[in-house]
Structure 1
Amino acid sequence: MASLVSAQQAGKATSPGLQDVGAQAIQAMLKQILLDPTVVVEKTGKPLPSNGAWSVGKNAPSSCPQTTNACVRIIYQVPEDEVSCNWVVQLTGDGTDGIILEQNKDATRYFLRKLTSSQVSDMVLTRKQPTYPPLASAARVSGSVVVRAVVSSSGAVEKALIVSGPEMLRSSSIDAMHGWSFKPLMAGTEPVRFGTDVTFDYRTMGPGSSSKVTSKP
């Protein structure tokens, strides 16, 4: 993902305390989101640029719980593209991590929530194992293919992109990835899109024996 932020941009024209909280919230949030380069802005026909302006809302959002943890609205704007993405983020612990409580339609459209293997493992509803390509099996081509799944708000895989892996094993991995489904990821009461990496391991079992494929999110 392209660099999205200098956290020092956060909270311009706000109090120093709010600016510091905003910078923390942005850094915590950037651990959890990806700018989706495959989605284009309607006005320009190009992906959303990564050099937009960050700011912090001055008032506490209504979705913030009544706790001692800081909770702010973070805004990412690209005015010339008429795009304004915003998230409500509650900081946790020492302020280096946070929970995204809410996000608007632009944030859902242009950004993906980024989930690790451990976070997504319990969200898998159905999975399809790849078919070991006969030519690859005969040539004893083995290895791991990493696929980045872009999952819609309904939990269906809307895109599957190769991250790495042997060329002969890629098409079967892409086909299998489209056969997976997940529980929807919620931000407050709204389902949102997310991305996660899935690894398909192809292994030959020895001369005269079959080959097999295993997978793990």
Structure 2
Amino acid sequence: MRTSLVQLVLIGLLASPAIAQTQPPTVPVKALMEHATHQEKALYPAIAKAAHITGDVVVGVELDETGKVTKYVLISGPEMLRSNAIDAAKQWTFSPVEVDGKASTVRSAIIFKFHDLYASTSE
């Protein structure tokens, strides 16, 4: 159910009224992860860890036909964790995603989980 909510939010947030009829298809998060060639971990901010801030940060992404991420949109997540998640998302790389047998521009999301208070901490 969460993936469905993420997909609905992506459609709304990444859509431009001028191109609303030519929106790229949204692929499930799990399907996108199969195309990830580099997954940068988001560092847990020291101040957030000290404050025991936990949660998921969802970053909406749009990939072009080559798999390059061309757009990033923050969908949700605790304020103190957002910037590190977006910084990490910008370093992710993907192989092209095919739709109907053709490399295509697609939308999806990357979910960063900040639940382990003993995870890596940013300086």
Q: Which TM bucket (shorter chain)?
A: 0.7 to 0.9
1:19 maps to which residue? none
Distance in 2 between residues matched to 1:129 and 1:48, nearest whole Å: 35
- Offset at residue 136 of structure 1 (A): 1.1
Does residue 37 in structure 1 map to residue 15 in structure 2? yes
Counterpart check, 1:167 vs 2:79: yes
- 1:48 alignment partner in structure 2: 18
CA distance in 1, matches of 2:58, 2:105: 19
Q: Which residue of 2 aligns with 1:182?
A: 94
Q: Aligned pair 1:192/2:104, yes or no?
A: yes
> How far off its partner does 1:124 sit?
1.1
For residues 1-217 of structure 1, the aligned pairs below 5 Å read: 34=11, 36-38=14-16, 47-48=17-18, 50=20, 107=22, 111-187=23-99, 190-205=102-117, 210-212=118-120
Distance, in Å, in 2 between the alignment partners of 1:184 and 1:49 is: 22
Structure (1/2) with the larger helix percentage: 2
Partner Cα distance (1:171, 1:165) in 2? 10
How much does 1:118 deviate? 2.7
The residue matched to 2:34 in structure 1 has which SS?
helix
Identity of aligned residues (%): 25
Q: Which residue of 1 aligns with 2:4?
A: none
Bigger RCO of structures 1 and 2 (CA < 8 A, at least 6 apart): 2
SS at match of 2:49: helix
1:58-114 residue CA offsets vs partner (Å, 9 max, x unmatched):
xxxxxxxxxxxxxxxxxx5xxxxxxxxxxxxxxxxxxxxxxxxxxxxxx4xxx1221
TM-score normalized with structure 1 length: 0.45
Question: 2-side partners of 1:187 and 1:137: how far apart?
Answer: 40
* Deviation at residue 190 of structure 1 after TM alignment: 4.5
How far apart are residue 125 of structure 1 and its match?
Answer: 0.9
Give the superposition deviation at 1:123. Answer: 1.1
List alignment gaps of at least 5 residues for structure 1: 1-30, 39-46, 51-75, 77-106
Q: Is the 8 A contact 1:158 1:178 kept in 2?
A: no
SS of the residue corresponding to residue 114 of structure 1 reads: coil
**Ranges in structure 2 where 5+ consecutive residues have no aligned partner:** 1-7
Q: Secondary structure at the match of 2:33?
A: helix
Tell me, in whole angstroms, the C-alpha distance in 1 between the residues paired with 2:106 and 2:15. Answer: 13
With over 3 angstroms needed to count, the CA separation of the structure-2 counterparts of 1:196 and 1:49, relative to structure 1, is closer
Aligned length: 112
